[in-house]
Structure 1
């Protein structure tokens, strides 16, 4: 239920005083003066306003009548309505007959300002409730059918297929602005601020969005992005929640292992991310022990660089050699050396997979060891 407050009442007064030749008072539904051109009258009771509230009609007070009323000066007092409900009283000081036209203009202006404030309040409530609801839906507590029904009522369309994208920004001042920018450009988007630097954007998969292009567009707006982790489409709250969890893990993997990569796809790093989430497991330590063997014999980092490039090029000798700027025979020599050090057979898929996962996790463990 909408109620007048001091701020809005004084705004009405200030707007009216800029054009009217008399003092203006704004009273609440109890007859208390909330705003006035005569500041000493604020927070005092206005008996003329109480007459308006009691009779729900215009009350004109001449000099004689004013003498019998407390806190009242000659003038005209009119009801202030909102949604067909009496919420306050507007008072103009002076000769009632001369103020009737002004009173109607004041009422029109005041009701317009009240409507604007009400709409703004509704918008702010809706935004806050939407944020709260999205937070619940994407958490482990958001399984209630009531929440899904409320999401439908708010127009959130919880059953659409969506792709979650976690965006990390370099400035905390940009998070809300980026959310608003994305929401305005992709209809039916969900956008949730997770922290002062991080937001989660879930866009409808049918919208044909290219996140990599949006990354460029966002940065052109002057909002530098540290990292963008892109998930896969998911339909329904539970599947979407699971993908959001994996996207969060992907971003963590990027911070720890792929610091130089700004754009991370879950489809590309699905397995390394899954392994990284279990980095405390003994089996992961065994994979790193294999890589440690290479490091112990690699004084200048050449072998580690070669292994990383070899994995990135799926073991393709020619493309890997070109990327490293070496001859194919030199690359073969280095890979034979790695096989010799680790005891791995590069012709066996199982051994190649172990080397691949080990090198994918190396930066995180190097950091940990340095700490």
Structure 2
């Protein structure tokens, strides 16, 4: 239920008195002055307003009758309505016979301001409730029928297929602007803030929505992300929740290991990101130990550079050699050296996987 407050009441007064040559008072539903052109009267009781509230009609107060009422000056007092409910009283000080037209204009303007403020409050409540509900939906056990029903009522369309992107930005202010911008331009988007500088954007996978295009537009606006963890399409809350968890792990993996990469794709890095989430376990130490053997024998960094490029190009010798600017025989020599150091036969798939995973878990530098 919407109620007047001091801020709105004084806003009505200030706007009215820019035009009207009379003092204006705004009283709440108890007859207490909430806003006035005479600040000393704020928070005092206005008995004329109480008469309006009791009788739900306009009350005019003449000069001779004003001393009989506490906190009252000559003037006219009119009901302030919202949604057919009496929420307060508007008062104009002066000769009531000369103020009737002004009073009606004031009432019309004030009721428009009240309606506008009410819409703003409703919009803020709706956004806050939507944010809270989305956080619950994407948390554990967030798919209970009650939450899903409320999501449907709020128009959140939980049944849509969505692709989650975790966008890391330079500041909380930029994150807020990006979130508002995406919500305004991409219909049916969900945007949450897992931390002050991040936006979890659940982009609807509908026709014509290309997340890459919006990331490029963000760049042109000066909102270049520090890092973007790009998920895969997911339909249904349970599936989306799992992908969001993977995307969060992917971002953490990128921050720790691939520090210079801005775009992290779950389709390419799902396995190393998953392993990074369990980096304290002994098996991960074994994978890193293999690559550390290479590092220990690599005084100029050539072997590690070669090994990373070899992994990036899926072991394709010519493609990797071209990327490094090497002759393929030079590349073969380096790979043979890596094989010798690690004591691994790189023609064996399990050895290749072990080496690949170790490289993916090794931080840059």
Query: Is this contact kept in 2: 1:186–1:207, CA < 8 A?
Result: no
Q: Report the Cα offset of residue 279 of structure 1.
A: 1.3
Consecutive aligned runs of 4 or more in structure 1 exceeding 4 Å deviation: none
Q: 1:115-130 to 2 correspondence within 5 Å?
A: 115-130=115-130
Task: Supply the RMSD in Å over aligned alpha carbons.
Answer: 1.3
Within 1, Cα distance between the matches of 2:198 and 2:80?
45
Within 1, Cα distance between the matches of 2:316 and 2:71?
92
Partner of 1:180: 180
Partner of 1:216: 216
| 1:221-240 deviation per Cα after TM superposition (whole angstroms, max 9, x unaligned) | 11131100111111111110
TM-score, with length taken from structure 1: 0.96
Partner of 2:102: 102
Query: Is this contact kept in 2: 1:4–1:88, CA < 8 A?
Result: yes
Q: Report the Cα offset of residue 43 of structure 1.
A: 1.2
SS of equivalent residue, structure 2 residue 352: helix
Q: Report the Cα offset of residue 209 of structure 1.
A: 2.9
Within 2, Cα distance between the matches of 1:112 and 1:307?
69
Query: Is this contact kept in 2: 1:158–1:237, CA < 8 A?
Result: yes
Partner of 1:9: 9
Partner of 2:83: 83
Within 1, Cα distance between the matches of 2:348 and 2:33?
86
Within 2, Cα distance between the matches of 1:251 and 1:76?
64
| 1:188-217 deviation per Cα after TM superposition (whole angstroms, max 9, x unaligned) | 000001111111000111144333332221
| 1:53-72 deviation per Cα after TM superposition (whole angstroms, max 9, x unaligned) | 11101111111221221221
SS of equivalent residue, structure 1 residue 280: coil
Query: Is this contact kept in 1: 2:203–2:211, CA < 8 A?
Result: no
Within 1, Cα distance between the matches of 2:211 and 2:345?
39
Q: Report the Cα offset of residue 334 of structure 1.
A: 0.9
Partner of 1:280: 280
For the structure 1 residues 27 and 68, does the alpha-carbon distance in structure 2 shift closer, same or farther, using more than 3 Å as the test?
same
Within 2, Cα distance between the matches of 1:139 and 1:207?
28
Within 2, Cα distance between the matches of 1:301 and 1:67?
94
Partner of 2:29: 29
| 1:93-118 deviation per Cα after TM superposition (whole angstroms, max 9, x unaligned) | 11111111001001001101111111
Within 2, Cα distance between the matches of 1:45 and 1:218?
54
Partner of 2:271: 271
Q: Report the Cα offset of residue 141 of structure 1.
A: 4.3
Q: 1:211-250 to 2 correspondence within 5 Å?
A: 211-250=211-250
Gaps of 5+ in 1: 367-371
Partner of 1:60: 60
Gaps of 5+ in 2: none
Within 2, Cα distance between the matches of 1:59 and 1:26?
14
Within 1, Cα distance between the matches of 2:36 and 2:185?
43
SS of equivalent residue, structure 2 residue 206: helix
Query: Is this contact kept in 1: 2:75–2:92, CA < 8 A?
Result: yes
| 1:292-313 deviation per Cα after TM superposition (whole angstroms, max 9, x unaligned) | 2212221111111111111111
1:152 aligns with 2:152: yes
Within 1, Cα distance between the matches of 2:209 and 2:270?
21
